[in-house]
Each structure stands twice: as structure tokens, then as C-alpha cells.
Amino acid sequence: MLRQKPHTVDILILGAGWTSTFLIPQLETESITHAATTTTGRDGTIPFKFDPESSNEEPYKQLPSARTVLITFPLKGSGPSKHITTLYRSTHGEENHWIQLGTSGIFNQDSEWSTEDSPYDKSDVRAIAEDELRECVGGCVLNLSGLYGGVRKPRMWIPRLAKSKDDVRRRKAVHFVHGEDVARAIIATHGNFTPGKRWVLADLRVYDWYDLIMSFSAMTGDEGEGVEEAEQRLLFGKWVGELMIEEGVKALPRELSMLGRKLDSRGFWREMGIWPRHRRLA
């Protein structure tokens, strides 16, 4: 059964995917009015699909006016950010703030520590779109580190990230943030908007892939995990043990100086006056 479409909301979520499973319950708890879109209109959402090649205003007229518009899907390259904001504002006015969920992967420069003010890869297609949003409407970008929670289980990612012992050898620092804390960050940014700002969002920890792989290899598998998956976890743990011997690593986690690029996300949490609830990857 479709919900009646509101005319005005506090937050409009463009793209109700994984993030919304944490965000919408918190919005409801805090009595923050909201609406959300999906491409199909499932689960009472508004059907909407952004087409960067179309200037048709009709799809935007079906959306409510919002104090904050949250874009959860990636925009890439020059043009889309200006296009989507122009079409929305042409039908709903300019009294709205914009938040884009981005990736911390753009902070891949040589600096040992990266903050929101550090150099980043300005040639990255997502960074280009994010910068355009910051410029054209004073949008705020939340550059997220590894997302986990609910169906996202980091220990299940290892086979996708590494196929060999040499792949594991190249793994150094990694950062995470739980979906609940992403939701809290979005709500905090809605209430304390920082125009044109780019923030790094992580749980204030630096994780060592060696340490995580070794820990995951010793965990009991999920129901339904096959023999092959269980053996694979043990193999990755064996590789880490061998690499520790080869590289002279006496204990895990490795020293920070060995982990390469690291994220310093204190700036966002300090600015918003909140701190992560999930302060360690479980």
C-alpha cells in the first residue's frame, strides 16, 4: 500500500538503499519528516531515477520540497551535480541544503594522515562531481570509509579483496564506519549544515588488515557457510602468519608507521558535537 506523498519534508533521500535501513528508523525515532525514492517505488517510496541526459522537470515535480536533500548514489564527472540540483530547484525553489555521500578513496595521495583538508585526487570522477555540488549549491560531502552493519559483514569481503598471498601482503590500513553512525552523521549535518564542506567519516580507528584477517580466520562461520569458504578463511590466516615471519612483525596489529595512508576523522565528530557509537569493528 502506497503512503500518501508529502508536499514538504525535512529530509528527502534520493536513493533508499542500504544507508536508509539505518537512517529511516532514526528519522522516525526523532520525528524528522522524510521521504525517500527508489527506481521502482518499492516499499512505499517515490519512484524516481536520475537521468543526467534528460532535462524533463516532470520527475522532479513528483518529489516533495525538502529542507535537506540527501544524494546516496554516486554522481560522476562534471555536469550531473549541477544538472540534478538545477532541475530540483526549478520546481521546488532554492531553500534547500544538499548532502552527497562520497568515498574516502579519493584521499589516496602521499600524505601519511588524511583529514578533510588534506590533498585528494581531484581527477577522480566522483571527486569532480562532489566538488561541483559544493560549488554550485554549497553542498556538503560526507566521504565515507568502509561501510558495515546489517548485511554488510567485513569478514565476508576478504576473498573479494585478495586472491593470493601477495595480495594480502599489499593490504595495510583500512577504516570503517557503521551504518548507524552514518545515519547519525547525516542527521547531525542536517541540523548543523556546513555549506561547501567536505568531511571524512570513519569510526576514529585505524585497522590493520593483517590483524583483521587473522581474527576473521578464527571466527565460526555463518550458517550456510560451505567447507570451501571455511578452508579459505583458514588459508588467509595462514598467509598472514607467514607474512609476519617474513616481514619481522612480532605482534598484531602492526605499528602505525607500517600501515601507509591513514584517515583522521576527528574533525567531523568534533564539529557536530557527537562521537561514534560503534567505536570498534565487532
**What is the per-residue pLDDT across 122-152, written as a single tens digit (0 to 9) for each?**
999 999 999 999 999 999 999 999 999 999 9
- Quote the DSSP letter at residue 123: T
CA–CA distance, 113 with 259 (Å, rounded to integer): 11
DSSP SS3 for 103: strand
Query: Side by side, which strands form the sheet with 8-14?
Result: 46-47, 34-38, 8-14, 65-71, 97-103, 140-144, 198-201
Task: Find where cell 567536505 sits.
Answer: 198
What pTM, to 2 d.p., does this model score?
0.93
**What is the per-residue pLDDT across 71-101, written as a single tens digit (0 to 9) for each?**
999 999 999 999 999 999 999 999 999 999 9
| Beta partners for residue 46, in sequence order | 37
- 170 burial (CB, 10 Å; 0-12 / 13-18 / 19+) is exposed
CATH of 8-152+175-205+261-272, one of 3.40.50.20, 3.40.50.10860, 3.40.430.10, 3.40.50.720: 3.40.50.720
Sorting pLDDT into bands at 50, 70 and 90, what band is 177? very high
In the chain, which residue ranges form alpha helices assigned H by DSSP? 18-29, 58-61, 80-92, 125-137, 158-161, 165-169, 179-191, 209-217, 227-247, 266-272
CA–CA distance, 197 with 166 (Å, rounded to integer): 38
